[in-house]
Structure 1
Amino acid sequence: MTGRPIGFKLKKRRNTMKKYILPLMLACLAAFPVQAKEKADRLERKIAEIEREYREDVAE
């Protein structure tokens, strides 16, 4: 026996998760609304472009 408490490895893993994984997850979640808004803006521009091209084709 190494003299370590029984839950030593589990506690070490939990600390690792708190230090590295949770901040990464929070950063991703914080960036999600910004990415969704950018994607919606791109879709709106694409739809407007297609509508404009359609109106030009109909006018001809």
Structure 2
Amino acid sequence: MKSSVVKRMVIVSAIIIATLFLGEMIHLSIVEKNNFKVDLQISKLYYFFGFGTLFTYLLL
């Protein structure tokens, strides 16, 4: 039983991290493709929310 909980935590953690990087890549490609001017470093925001979500999940 313990291994199934650990396995689920690893899978969900991997999904969260993959979503973080995939979302950032899609966002950056849209910005580059449409030549938008972005003054913010959006990657820091993605990392903040992604790792915050991961931290919260692992605590619960």
- Structure 2 length-normalised TM: 0.51
Q: Any idea what SS the aligned residue of 1:28 has?
A: helix
Look up the match of 1:48.
24
Q: Any idea what SS the aligned residue of 1:59 has?
A: coil
Please identify, of 49-58 and 29-38, the stretch whose mean Cα deviation from structure 2 is larger: 29-38
Larger Rg: 1
Look up the match of 1:34.
10
- For residue 36 of structure 1, report the CA deviation from its aligned partner: 0.6
RMSD, matched Cα: 1.6
Alignment of 1:7-18 (within 5 A): none
Stretches of structure 1 lacking an aligned partner (at least 5 in a row) = 1-24
In 2, the alpha carbon distance for the partners of 1:46 and 1:40 equals 10
Runs of 4 or more consecutive aligned structure 1 residues displaced over 2 Å after TM superposition: none
Look up the match of 2:46.
none
Stretches of structure 2 lacking an aligned partner (at least 5 in a row) = 37-60
Aligned length: 36
Percent of aligned pairs with the same amino acid: 11
